[in-house]
Amino acid sequence: MVRWFSGVRVPADWRRLLVGAGLIFTGVAGVGVAGWAYYDAWLTRATWDTSPEAAALQRQIEAPIPVWLTPAPEVQPTPVVAALPTRDVAAVSAPLVSLAPTPVVTATADQLSVESADFRFLDPPEPGAHARLHVEVANHADVPSGRVLLGIDSSWFDNYSIIGTAPAVSQDRTDDNGLRTFSFPPVAAGTTAEYELHVTSTAEGTTPPTVTVLVEAGDTIGEVDALHTFAPTPRPGPVMSLDIPRLKLHSGVLQVDWEPPPFAVGQIKDTANVTQGNTVLVGHLTGAAGNVFANLDELKPGDEITAMSRGLPYKFVVSETFEGANTDATPMQPEDDARLTLMTCAGVWNPFTHDYSERLWVVAEPPDQAAITIANAQATATVVSATATTQATLDAQATATAVALEPTATPMPTPYAGEPSSAGGVGNTRANLEKAFGYATGETAAKLVVFRQPGGELHVRFTPDPPRASLLAWFPTAPETFDKAVADARKLFPTDTQPNSAGPEGNSQFIVERFTSATLAQALTLPSPDFSVVYTRNAKGSITSVVLGPGDDIDALLTSSRS
């Protein structure tokens, strides 16, 4: 059966045909969108792989570990030489012209040899550090050589600036292949000559150059492509590469304002150098911009992370993972303690804002501190679980009592496990204090355990088994300033410490600070989370002792510390 519309013959099932055509169109459109997404991702990856940033990251990853010099060598002064000649880049096809007359007979390249070569930082490696390339060339002939050329790929100088040579060079030129050569004086017959390039580092990195040594005619004497870098132990710097074994992830790291680089990890600029505070690292979750942190949610407390900085590896251990709103930047705030904070997107993608609803955060700390954080988290979870279990038991007992009119014993809560404070702090176990301060050297008349330390003595009162530090008294060898004493005291605080007053109080004899810590109360089974710090003063106002203990009875704390 057919129908006629305006003279056109249309089948009766035209609606079905339109639906089918619509489905076909939708399918084709879906394939097109998917194909475009795939092409976009491929194009982004191809563009990134050929970019200078990707090349720089690859150099960072492949950079050999320097040979660290301990103690640091004495810094040598910059050689005093004539200014480098003007670099001849345009006339690269012209032959090299020696400033000295060329001997009629000179040693050939096969009569010369590279005896030694090394690349050495004279300062700890970082931007602005002085470094030196040293090459020795021997002449085995009975005639002198022509001028000797040291050739280095010009791209190496993207990270280094020439500050002098020894001896002076006559020419500094770059050829069509990007080889930058420095023309040094000849080697006398039967002798060995030493040539040096002195440079200043202009970027992060310790990669040595590949050096080609040539005679003036262009023949190669030798090539050194496996130089070791020698350097004093560096100061902590930005993260250069990141290694996460659980994720099988090894990535270079670039400094970024916010947006991570494609297919690599970025460190937020102005966040701390590694081990000097909160170092924040970011990476994409998925999409054309990359997926370097696609599996970040697989990390668990206890997993290892290695951050490489200035040729030195720094070990961290994951201590915490959590998700938060995409507007919450609190985990990026500066911290006094060393940590890596890794971040990527999480939650639901919003096509209108082009952003995910949440952020995934992974915190990693140095191994010792991570162990404390993990133990505290486990202890807190145990206490919470034990409290819930105890409450459920009490409720059941109350019900049973109401029915049976018989009293029921209250079960004991699970003892606190872990260390509530940083290493050697209040509330920690005796084993923890002995690890931090060494074994005790004696006791006071009141049975306070004495730990002798450089600069003073620490007296500790321990609770009965299991022994935990319930009172700490620090007696410096020489009186300290208040700021120094406060800094010393903070190292002994519980990790969840909160102020309990507007600020320090006191008089001419002592100063008092008051705080609270729930974990300290749990560890020492105290009725109150309050604890106090008392700084005793001499006639000049300097601090002669620091006493840290539970409660706010100042007289009792001072009496206990002096017993």
Quick one: pLDDT at residue 81?
46
Quick one: pLDDT at residue 15?
64
Question: Angle at CA 276, nearest 5°, toward 419 and 265?
Answer: 105
Left, alpha or beta for 286 (phi > 0: left; psi -120 to 50: alpha)?
beta
Quick one: pLDDT at residue 454?
86
Cβ count near 422 (within 10 Å): 20
Quick one: pLDDT at residue 503?
78
Question: What residue type is 520 in one-letter code?
Answer: L
Left, alpha or beta for 86 (phi > 0: left; psi -120 to 50: alpha)?
beta
* Structure confidence by residue, pLDDT tens digits, 242-253: 999 999 999 989
| pLDDT of residue 520 exceeding 70 | yes
The Cα 425–Cα 421 span in angstroms is 5
* Structure confidence by residue, pLDDT tens digits, 166-220: 999 999 999 999 999 999 999 999 999 999 999 999 998 888 999 999 999 899 9
Looking at the DSSP bridge assignments, the partners of residue 556 are: none
Quick one: pLDDT at residue 17?
65
Cβ count near 339 (within 10 Å): 24
pLDDT-based confidence at residue 85 (cuts at 50, 70, 90): low
Question: Which ranges of 323-449 would DSSP assign to H, the alpha helix?
Answer: 367-404, 430-437
Give the residue-averaged pLDDT of 257-283: 92
Cβ count near 508 (within 10 Å): 9
pLDDT-based confidence at residue 378 (cuts at 50, 70, 90): confident
Beta strands at 265-268 and 148-153: parallel, antiparallel or unpaired: unpaired
Q: Of 18-27, 121-130, 172-181, 255-264, which gets the smallest average pLDDT?
A: 18-27
Quick one: pLDDT at residue 133?
96
Quick one: pLDDT at residue 442?
85
Quick one: pLDDT at residue 197?
96
The Cα 277–Cα 172 span in angstroms is 44
φ, ψ for residue 343, nearest 5 deg: -140, 140
Quick one: pLDDT at residue 93?
33
Cβ count near 221 (within 10 Å): 23
The Cα 463–Cα 520 span in angstroms is 13
342 vs 80, which has greater pLDDT? 342
Quick one: pLDDT at residue 69?
77
Q: With contact defined as beta carbons under 8 Å apart, do 537 and 544 qualify?
A: yes
Beta strands at 265-268 and 249-256: parallel, antiparallel or unpaired: parallel
| pLDDT of residue 53 exceeding 80 | no
11 vs 454, which has greater pLDDT? 454
* Structure confidence by residue, pLDDT tens digits, 287-317: 766 789 999 999 999 999 999 998 888 999 9
Which two tokens mark 132? Answer: 């030196």
Three-class DSSP labels, 347-363: EEEECCCCEEEEEEEEE
What DSSP state is assigned to residue 422?
Answer: S
* Structure confidence by residue, pLDDT tens digits, 429-450: 998 888 888 888 888 888 899 9
Beta strands in 167-247 (DSSP E): 172-174, 179-184, 192-201, 211-215, 220-224, 229-232, 241-244
pLDDT-based confidence at residue 394 (cuts at 50, 70, 90): low
- For the chain, helix, strand, coil in percent to 5 are 25, 35, 40
pLDDT-based confidence at residue 82 (cuts at 50, 70, 90): very low
| pLDDT of residue 47 exceeding 90 | no
Q: With contact defined as beta carbons under 8 Å apart, do 185 and 167 qualify?
A: yes
C-alpha dihedral sign at 271, 273, 275, 276? negative
64 vs 482, which has greater pLDDT? 482
Q: With contact defined as beta carbons under 8 Å apart, do 132 and 123 qualify?
A: no
The pTM for the full model equals 0.57
Question: Angle at CA 511, nearest 5°, toward 510 and 513?
Answer: 145
Quick one: pLDDT at residue 18?
67
Quick one: pLDDT at residue 508?
82
Query: 319 CB contacts (<8 Å, ≥6 apart)?
Result: 301, 363, 364, 365, 369, 370, 373, 374, 377
φ, ψ for residue 461, nearest 5 deg: -100, 125
Give the residue-averaged pLDDT of 6-32: 59
Q: Of 50-59, 124-133, 286-295, 370-379, which gets the smallest average pLDDT?
A: 50-59
Quick one: pLDDT at residue 40?
54
Half-sphere exposure of 271 (CA within 13 A, CB side): 29
| Percent share of the chain, pLDDT over 70 | 76
Q: How far apart are the first and last CA of the chain?
A: 111
Average pLDDT, the chain: 82
Beta strands at 498-499 and 510-516: parallel, antiparallel or unpaired: antiparallel
* Structure confidence by residue, pLDDT tens digits, 443-502: 888 889 999 988 899 999 999 878 999 999 999 999 998 888 988 898 899 988 888 877
Quick one: pLDDT at residue 67?
81
Q: With contact defined as beta carbons under 8 Å apart, do 342 and 293 qualify?
A: yes
Give the residue-averaged pLDDT of 108-132: 94
